[in-house]
A and B are shown apart, each in its own frame.
Chain A
Amino acid sequence: MRIVESAAEENHLLRVHKVILEIGQFAGVIIPSLEFAFSVIKKDTILENTEIEINSPPLLLSCHACEAEYLADLEDLSCPVCQAEDFDILQGREMLVKSIIGE
């Protein structure tokens, strides 16, 4: 809320039609819960009529063993090239306010 309100003020927006969030699969966020929470907290604020759009980008990992970068899901984190389960998370922990649309 603070990020959006601050950005709206800085950009002289009178209305914010939509907030677009990017939430990674490893972020531990339950998206329907976030949508519900937003619907409640936005009441009686400048975001009262603002829609929220939540995108979840693919989980992208980097294998330590063979250096492959691969798409994965939480059910199977192993490398498809060498089957190792030793990875860094390249994409998947994001919790970003990606953009706002307003006027």
Chain B
Amino acid sequence: MEDKEILHPQPAGEKLSRREIRVITLEENVLGENEKIADENKVLLQKKGIFSLNLISSSGSGKTTLLVETLRQLSGEIACAVIEGDQQTDNDARRIAETGVPVVQINTRSGCHLEALQVRRALEQLPLSNVRLLFIENVGNLVCPAEFELGESEKVVLMSITEGEDKPVKYPLAFHLASAVIFTKMDLLPYLRFDFDKCKEFVRKVNPHAPMIETSAFTPDGLTRWIEWLRAKIGSYESRIT
């Protein structure tokens, strides 16, 4: 756009002033500030040797239940910490705290996702020196959490089989970015008209590589594959950083 000269009327007796219309190119990332803090979080976690997972899913998929059972099974083996994100209440943090794992609750109030600065502040409250695995349980939402980097090592998406089969293609970015897709509530499959093969096809449309891991928090071996995946991830991460 060419600069245009505009003459602006001034109070009587004064000369007309001249200003130009200008186009200022910015190319500035709206989320730039968040990404800068997220990068700093990532460096901090790497320096501490902590592998971190950002758990993303719809509300009600069973994130907290899966997390509580996971922490019980990892107890004594892998030192964990948790950052909980919800709009309101500390209900989820209380459930985590019952496992003995250090946890910080972030209430986003009107926010629908966690942001890097909130995670930074939570990290300052956690005893990171003894932690090998950090779970960040994001606000229940498959849209914005995929956009806002927190500084985590990797993202995983949870999806319960009580949701629609086409969830992966309805929320493609979250599923595309996930290192693993965790199906929850598998014990309910016999009672549902859920086309599991179709759902897996939909996952593959947006993410050809992520392992799809079936879990049930309420059956004896329901977390076996998930725990194995976690152990392998931590082992691989710790090999890379040492």
Contact = CB atoms under 8 A, between A and B. Distances in A.
B79 to A, nearest CB: 34
Interface in A73-100: 74, 77-78, 84-86, 89, 93-100
Contact of B173 (A93, A97, A103): A93
B146 interface: yes
A61 to B, nearest CB: 10
Interface in B198-221: 204-206, 208-209
Interface in A6-56: 7, 11, 13-14, 17, 21, 26-28
Interface residues of A, number: 29
Contact of B25 (A78, A94, A99): A99
B192 interface: no
B208 A85 contact: yes
B1 interface: yes
Interface in B43-84: none
A11 B205 contact: no
B24 A11 contact: yes
B22 A13 contact: yes
Given A102-B21, A103-B6, A95 B205 contact: no
Contact of A101 (B19, B23, B172): B23
Contacts of A74: 172
Size class of B's contact patch? 20 to 34
Contacts of B25: 98-99
Contacts of A95: 29-31, 147
A94 B24 CA distance: 19
Contacts of B205: 77-78, 85
Given A28-B144, A102-B24, A77 B19 contact: no
B173 A99 contact: no
Nearest to A23: B30
B219 to A, nearest CB: 32
Given A28-B144, A77-B206, A101 B28 contact: no
B146 A11 contact: no
B4 to A, nearest CB: 9
Nearest to A94: B29
15 contacts: A3-B26, A3-B30, A26-B173, A64-B208, A74-B172, A78-B205, A84-B208, A85-B204, A85-B205, A93-B147, A93-B173, A96-B29, A97-B26, A99-B24, A102-B22
Interface of A: 3, 7, 11, 13-14, 17, 21, 26-28, 64, 74, 77-78, 84-86, 89, 93-103
Question: Top 3 A-B pairs ranked by shortest CB distance?
Answer: A95-B30, A86-B208, A28-B143
Given A3-B28, A89-B176, A100-B24, 19 more contacts: A3-B26, A27-B147, A28-B143, A28-B147, A64-B208, A77-B172, A84-B208, A85-B206, A86-B208, A95-B29, A96-B26, A96-B28, A99-B23, A99-B24, A99-B27, A100-B23, A101-B21, A101-B22, A101-B24
